[in-house]
Amino acid sequence: MRVIPVTWRLMAVPRNAVAILCLCISFTNAGLAEQLKSGGWRLADASSPYLLLHADNPVEWYPWGEVAFEKARSENKPLFISIGYFTCHWCHVMARESFENPDIAGLLNEYFVPIKIDREQRPDLDAAYMQYVTLTRGQGGWPMSVWATPEGAPFLGGTYFPPEASRGQPGFKSMLSQLALMWRADEEGVRKTAAHAVQTLRKLSDPVEALKELDMAPLVAARRDYAASFDELQGGFGAAPKFPQPARLLLLLADDDPASVTMALTTLDHMLAGGIVDQLAGGFHRYSTDFGWRVPHFEKMLYDQALMVRVCLAAWRHNKAEHYADCARSTLDFTLSEMRDTRGGFYSALGADSPADGDDGHMQEGAYYTWTLQQLEQALPDDALREWTIARYGIKQHGNALSDPLGELQGRNVLWRALDDNGLAARFKVDPGTVRERNVELDRRLLTARRGRAPAPVDDKVVTAWNGYQITALAMAGRLLGEPRYVTAARQAAQFVLDELYDEKSGQLFRDWRGGVRGVPGFNRDHAAFAEGLLALYRVSGEKRWLRHAQQLVDAQVERFWDERHGGFFTTTASTELWLRDKSLNDGATVAGNGIAVHVLLDLGNFTGKSDYTEKALRTARWAGAQLADAPGAMPYTLLAWPRLLSAVSSNEKSVTH
C-alpha cells in the first residue's frame, strides 16, 4: 500500500472523516499483516498448554470456531482436525515428524484448513470424532487425525500417522496429496460419504426403550465378564496395554462375592509393585505397556491419581492392610506437592517426555523417571547399597524395559519391586527393621538424585471435573485415614473452583481455567463430578454450604442436560455446535457423567428428602441398563450404585403400598 497519495487525500476531506479513513487504513494494514503471517500464530493466545505447543508450527493452525469454518467454506477446502493433549507422547512424536516439517505443513496449508483441538478442553468434540474413528478403524487413540467437510462432517480418520509409509501404515505426506486430489476430483462423492457417516453415528446413538424394572442381572453379567478377562497371574483385565480401570476395581471391591474382591486386590497389589507406580515420589503413571505393570507410559494424570486413591481406600477398608493406606497417602501427597496451584486448585497432568541426558534438549519419554546403570552408580557410590537397589528394583545392566515397543527406553531401567521386604530380608540375611531402614535411605538418595534432572513438564490448566474427583478423594481420605489436612485441601480446592470456574449469579460452571482465563461452559460431567466432590465435603464436614452449592449445580445440570424423553443426561446442551449430541455412559480412563450423576442424585435425594432427585437417578439407571444391556460391564461406576437403586425401588414400592 502507498501511503503518500492517501495522506494527500486526507487533507481535502472533512475532519470527522479523517478518523474513519485512518481506521480503514489501520484495518487494511492489520489484514495485510495477518496475511503475511504464517504458521500456528492463531494459537498463541490459547489458554491450553497443548495448543501453545503448536503456536510455532509452520502449519497454519486455527482453533476450533467459526473463523476456521468460514475460511473452509469460502475457499471450499476440507478441514484437517488434529486432536490431542499436552501429555500425549505420540502427539509430540507426530508434531516433531509432521507438523514441524515445512513440506507437510505446506500441503496442509494449501489444501486444507487445519484445526488443532485440546481434547481435555473439548471432550465433546473429542468424543464425537472418536466415535467416528472407532467405528471406521476399529480402534481409536491420540493423536486423533480426522478429515472433514467444511461443515465438520468427517469422511476419513485415524490416529498417529508417520510422515512416510512405515510398518504397514500409510505416510501422512502422501495421504494429504491423495486426499487433496480426491476432494477436487469427486467432492460430491466425498460429501456423500461424510453425510452417510454422520447419519450412521446418529442412528447408533438413538436411545433404546428404557428398562421397565431394575434387577440384579446387570451386576451378575458384569461380574461374569470381568472374570472371563481377568489375568490371574499378573492381575488386570485383557491383554496389554493394561489400564488401571479404577471404576471397575471400585465395583469389584464393593461386591459381596469373594472372587470379585480377589480380582481387585490381586490387580491392585501387582500395580503397587510395578513400574506403573512411581516408587520414589508416589503417583500412578498412565498405563502399562506390558502384562506385568512394569513398563508404563509415564504421564501422570490428575484423574488417575484421584480415582486410584479411592481404590486404595476401598481396599484398605476391606482388610486394613497398611500398604493400601500408604499408597493413598503417597499419591495424594504427590499431587499436593507437584500438581497444585498455590490457591488450592489442581493441575491437569505431568508430561511423559522430558529432556534427556545431554545438551541438545532432546525430549525423551520417561527420561525423568528411568535409570541407566551409570546414573545409578553416580547416585549410589556405596557398593552395598547399590547391590541392594539392584535386587530391590530389578535393575539390569542393559536396562529392564523389555516391553518398550519402539526401543525408546533402550538401556534404561524402570523401578519396580522385584523383591518385597520379606524377599530382601531373606536375600541379604537381615532383620525387618534393617530392611525398612535401608529402603528409606535408598529411596531418599535416589529421589535426591532424580530431582537434579530436568523435570517433567506440567499442564497447569485446572479442569473442573478432575478437580471434582480430587476433592472427593481428599475428603474420603481425610475421613477414613484420620488426616484433617486432606479435608483442608479439599475445602481449598472446592473454593478455588467456586471462585474461578463458577459464576454464581448466572449459575454457569466452566470447563477449565488457566492463568485467569476461563474455558468453555462446563459439560454434564463437570457438573456431576464437582457436585460429587461437594457432597463428599458435606459428608465429612457437615458444612451446609457445600450441600447448597451441590444442589445448585445439579439443578443447573438437570435444566441444561437432562433428557426428559428417555432419562439420563446429554454431554452437551441443546445448543451444541456438533452434528451429534452424545450421552456418555461407558467408563474409560475416567468415569462417565451419567454414572456420577446417579450417585449424586441418590445422595441429594437422601440429604434433601426430595423424591424428584431419586426418581431421576432411577430413570437414568433404567435408560443405562437398556442402553448397555449386552455389555453392562462397560458402566461399572453406574453399577456401583445399583444396590442403592434397587433399595430405592423397594422403598418407593413400599411407600405406594402403604
Sheet holding 300-301, edge to edge: 300-301, 349-350, 458-459
The pLDDT of residue 581 = 85
Three-class DSSP category at 548: helix
- How distant is the alpha carbon of residue 542 from its chain centre? 31
3-state secondary structure of 176: helix
Helices 593-608/611-627 angle, 10° precision: 160
pLDDT at 587 over 50: yes
| CB of 400 closer than 8 Å to CB of 292 | no
Look at residues 475, 476, 471, 474 and name the one whose alpha carbon lies nearest to residue 317: 476
Q: Residues 430, 434, 440, 444: is their CA dihedral positive or negative?
A: negative
212-271 per-position pLDDT tens digit: 999 999 999 999 999 999 999 999 999 999 999 999 999 999 999 999 999 999 999 999
Report d(CA 318, CA 478) in Å as an integer.
17
Question: What are the phi and psi torsion angles at 353 (to 5°)?
Answer: -95, 135
Q: Using 50, 70 and 90 to split pLDDT, how confident is the model at 4?
A: very low
- Sort 214 into a burial class: Cβ within 10 Å, 0-12 / 13-18 / 19+: middle
Cross-strand pairs, 84: 118
Q: Which of 6-15, 130-139, 278-287 shows the lowest per-residue confidence on average (mean pLDDT)?
A: 6-15
What average pLDDT does this structure show over 627-650?
A: 94
- Binned at pLDDT 50, 70 and 90, residue 36 comes out as low
**Range from 61-75, 255-269, 491-505, 575-589 carrying the lowest mean pLDDT:** 575-589
Residue ranges covered by each domain of the chain: 3-36, 41-204, 355-455
* Residue 13: predicted pLDDT: 35
Average pLDDT over residues 529-553: 97
27 Cα distance to chain centroid: 41
Per-residue pLDDT averaged across 475-481, rounded? Answer: 98
pTM: 0.91
Give 558's pLDDT tier (boundaries 50, 70, 90): very high
Question: Which fold would CATH assign to domain 41-204?
Answer: Glutaredoxin (3.40.30)
List, for residues 85-117, the tens digit of each pLDDT value: 999 989 999 999 999 999 999 999 999 999 999
Mean pLDDT for the chain overall:
91
pLDDT at 442 over 60: yes
CB proximity list for 379: less than 8 A, separation 6 or greater: 445, 446, 448, 449
DSSP state letter for 10: H
Residue 15 has pLDDT above 80, yes or no: no
Count how many residues are written for the chain. 658
Backbone φ and ψ of 575, nearest 5°: -90, 20
Q: Is 354 helix (H, G, I), strand (E, B) or coil?
A: strand
Res 584: pLDDT = 87
| Number of helices (H), then strands (E), in the chain | 26, 17
The pairing of strands 508-509 and 462-463 is unpaired
Per-residue confidence (pLDDT) for residue 357, from 0 to 100: 73
Establish how many alpha carbons lie within 13 A of residue 298's alpha carbon, considering only the half-sphere containing its beta carbon.
Answer: 25
Asked whether residue 1 carries a pLDDT value surpassing 50, the answer given is: no
Confidence of residue 403 (pLDDT cuts 50, 70, 90): confident
What does residue 135 show for φ and ψ, rounded to 5 degrees?
Answer: -65, -40
In this model, does residue 25 exceed pLDDT 70? no
Sheet (strand 462-463) strand order: 462-463, 512-514, 517-518
Whether the predicted pLDDT of 654 surpasses 80: no
Query: C-alpha grid cell for residue 560?
Result: 441444561
| Chain mean position to CA 466 | 8
Going from the C-alpha of 590 to that of each of 283, 325, 469, the distances in angstroms are 16, 22, 9
Tell me the per-residue pLDDT of 324-359, one tens digit each, with 9 for 90 and over: 999 999 999 999 999 999 999 999 999 999 988 755
Percent of all residues in the chain with a pLDDT value above 70, rounded to a whole number: 92
Residues 417-441: b if buried by 16+ CB within 10 A, e if exposed: bbbeeeebbeebeeeeeebeebbee
Averaged pLDDT for residues 501-506? 93
- The reported pLDDT for the residue numbered 360 is 63
Cα–Cα nearest to 402, from 275, 238, 537 = 275
